[in-house]
Amino acid sequence: MGPYEISLATGVGIYVILAVSLNLITGYCGQISLGHAAFFGIGAYTVALLSKLGWPMYLTLAAGLSSAGIIGVIIGLTSLRVKEDFLAIVTMGVAFLFVGIVRQQEFFGGEMGISGIPSHGMTKFAYLCFVLVFAMLSILFSWYVKKAWIGFAFDAVADDEGTARTLGLDIKSYKLTAFAMGTSMAGLAGGLYAYYTRFIVPETFGFIESITILSMVAVGGIGSTFGVVFATVLLVMMPEVFRFINDYKLLLYGALLFGVMRFKPEGLSGFYTLLTGNKEK
């Protein structure tokens, strides 16, 4: 693999973690989030700032994961009384709030962002392998959650909160757990992204990025780990392989999102069912 292919594969691995993390919140627990990129950014900015202070990589990544998870729980606590469209509006506001804060504060680099992030100290291929290990762990964790008892509880909350409550499920706890899991993984993806690019700016983590991540989940099939991973690889690589559509990437994502929601709500996971004759477990 050449440097370009390694760089592209590394980006795909990071976005796989990011899309799987949103799928835990939206796909498994039915909470629509339009501000997921903010937690991606929290992880990236945490890692960037701490690494410039001389913290080792394993501590900065742990801090990025933890900070995004903690803030995710705080946002989750403030959002427990709202759902569906209102929850989407609240999370969308989080994305705008995050970008506004980092843009206005010189501590976060302002409009210019943070540059000169220390190197991860690995070769590009070694870092690719490092990222892919985390991507695989994220996928395995997602599968485990889906098959475990907590996954059935998430399904019950997503399908009908009233029925889930009559079964004795603590709705608030499960919603917060899903938010904590998903936002923590997004923070990890952000930390890996900071070491990958070594330069971050506020626009990278804005509302448009949140819609891009949501598109990966929706096109793959909301709640489907297989479909989300496949759609992420497809949507990240497509603008790179077909350069002529790169300038129309957002238009493409929007069209795919509309088309899937209108004509094939199960997304690419529907092809898995068609080929195997079984729904994804």
- Tallying the residues shown for the chain, one arrives at 281
Q: What is the pLDDT of residue 274?
A: 45
Q: What is the pLDDT of residue 275?
A: 46
Mean pLDDT value of segment 66-84: 83
- Do the domain assignments include residue 50? yes
How many domains does the structure of the chain reveal? 1
- Do the domain assignments include residue 278? no
Amino acid at 54: G
DSSP assignment string, 206-246 = SHHHHHHHHHHHHHH-TT-HHHHHHHHHHHHHHHHHSGGGG
- Do the domain assignments include residue 91? yes
Mean pLDDT value of segment 47-76: 93
Q: What is the pLDDT of residue 15?
A: 96
- Do the domain assignments include residue 48? yes
* Chain segment 215-270, per-residue pLDDT in tens: 889 888 888 888 899 889 988 887 776 666 666 667 777 777 777 766 666 666 65
* CATH number of the domain enclosing 97: 1.10.3470.10
Residues 6+ away with beta carbon under 8 Å from 99: 38, 41, 202, 203, 205, 206, 207
Range scoring the smallest mean pLDDT among 129-133, 205-209, 218-222, 258-262: 258-262
- Do the domain assignments include residue 213? no
- Do the domain assignments include residue 99? yes
Question: Six-digit token pair at 114?
Answer: 């943070």
Model pTM? Answer: 0.89
Mean confidence (pLDDT) of the chain: 85
Range scoring the smallest mean pLDDT among 16-20, 40-44, 258-262: 258-262
Mean pLDDT value of segment 10-20: 95
CB 45 within 8 A of CB 114: yes
The parent domain of residue 75 ranges over 3-204
Between residues 246 and 204, which one has the greater pLDDT? 204
Q: What is the pLDDT of residue 270?
A: 54
The pLDDT of residue 166 is above 90: no
Question: Six-digit token pair at 266?
Answer: 């199960």
- Do the domain assignments include residue 69? yes
Q: What is the pLDDT of residue 261?
A: 67
The pLDDT of residue 109 is above 60: yes
DSSP assignment string, 97-109 = HHHHHHHH-GGGT
Distance CA 71, CA 24 (A): 17
- Do the domain assignments include residue 156? yes
Q: What is the pLDDT of residue 226?
A: 86
